[in-house]
Structure 1
Amino acid sequence: MSLDIGDALRSGIDDITGETGLLVGAVFLLYNLGALVANESLSVELLELVFESGVYTAEQRAAIESVGSGAPLALGLGLPLTAVLVVIVALAGELVRYWGIRLFAGPSATATDEFGDRAGMAVVLGGAVALTVLLFQSVLPVVGQLGGLATTLVGSIVGPLAGLALLTVLVYLRQEIALNDGGYGETVRNSVARFMDEPVSIVVLLLVLGLFGLVGGLPSLVTGFVVGDAAVAGLPVSVLARLLSTVLGAVFQTLGIAVVTDAYLQVRTSARESAA
Structure 2
Amino acid sequence: MSLSIGAALRNGFDDFASEKGALFTAVFVLLGIANAVFSQTFSVALYERLFDFIPTTPENQAQLEQARQAVVEQAPLSLGTSLAVALLGLFVLFLIAEVLRIVAIRAFADDAGSPLPDDATRALGSTALTAILAAIVTGIVVAIGTALFVIPGIVAVILFAFVRQEIALNDSGVVESIRNSVGLVTDDALAVTGLLVVLVLLGIVVGVPLSLVPIPLSPVVTLAVNTIVGQLVAVYGIAVLTDAYQQVTTESVTEDEFAV
Same fold (TM over 0.5): yes
Residue type of the alignment partner of 2:79: L
Distance 1:42 1:68, change over 3 A: closer
> What is residue 259 of structure 1 aligned with on the other side?
240
8 Å CA contact retained: 2:29, 2:228: yes
Alignment of 1:247 onto 2:247: no
Q: TM-score, normalised by structure 2?
A: 0.76
Distance 1:165 1:32, change over 3 A: farther
8 Å CA contact retained: 1:87, 1:131: no
1:1-276 equivalences under 5 Å are 1-49=1-49, 70-106=74-110, 114-130=119-135, 158=147, 161=150, 165-215=155-205, 217-218=207-208, 227=216, 237-276=218-257
Distance 1:132 1:73, change over 3 A: farther
Distance 1:12 1:116, change over 3 A: closer
> What is residue 147 of structure 1 aligned with on the other side?
none
Distance 2:189 2:72 in 1: 36
Q: Please report the RMSD computed on the Cα atoms of aligned residues, expressed in angstroms.
A: 3.9
Residue type of the alignment partner of 2:131: G
Residue type of the alignment partner of 1:11: N
Residue type of the alignment partner of 1:28: F
Q: Secondary structure at the match of 2:41?
A: helix
Distance 1:52 1:220 in 2: 36
8 Å CA contact retained: 1:21, 1:254: yes
Structure 1 regions of 5+ residues with no counterpart?
141-153, 231-236
Distance 1:246 1:204, change over 3 A: same
Structure 2 regions of 5+ residues with no counterpart?
55-59, 113-117
Distance 1:45 1:134 in 2: 25
8 Å CA contact retained: 1:216, 1:246: no
Q: TM-score, normalised by structure 1?
A: 0.72
Residue type of the alignment partner of 1:238: P
Distance 2:172 2:209 in 1: 42
- Which shifted more, 254-263 or 75-84? 75-84
Residue type of the alignment partner of 2:17: T
Residue type of the alignment partner of 2:20: T
Distance 1:103 1:10, change over 3 A: same
8 Å CA contact retained: 2:51, 2:64: no
Task: After TM superposition, give the deviation of residue 187 of structure 1 in Å.
Answer: 2.5
Distance 1:37 1:172 in 2: 30
Task: After TM superposition, give the deviation of residue 242 of structure 1 in Å.
Answer: 0.7
Distance 1:264 1:75 in 2: 40
Residue type of the alignment partner of 1:272: V
Larger radius of gyration: 2
Distance 2:16 2:165 in 1: 17
Distance 1:61 1:12 in 2: 50
Distance 1:255 1:241 in 2: 21
Residue type of the alignment partner of 2:222: A
Distance 1:160 1:38, change over 3 A: farther
Task: After TM superposition, give the deviation of residue 214 of structure 1 in Å.
Answer: 2.4
Distance 1:80 1:72, change over 3 A: same
Residue type of the alignment partner of 2:100: V
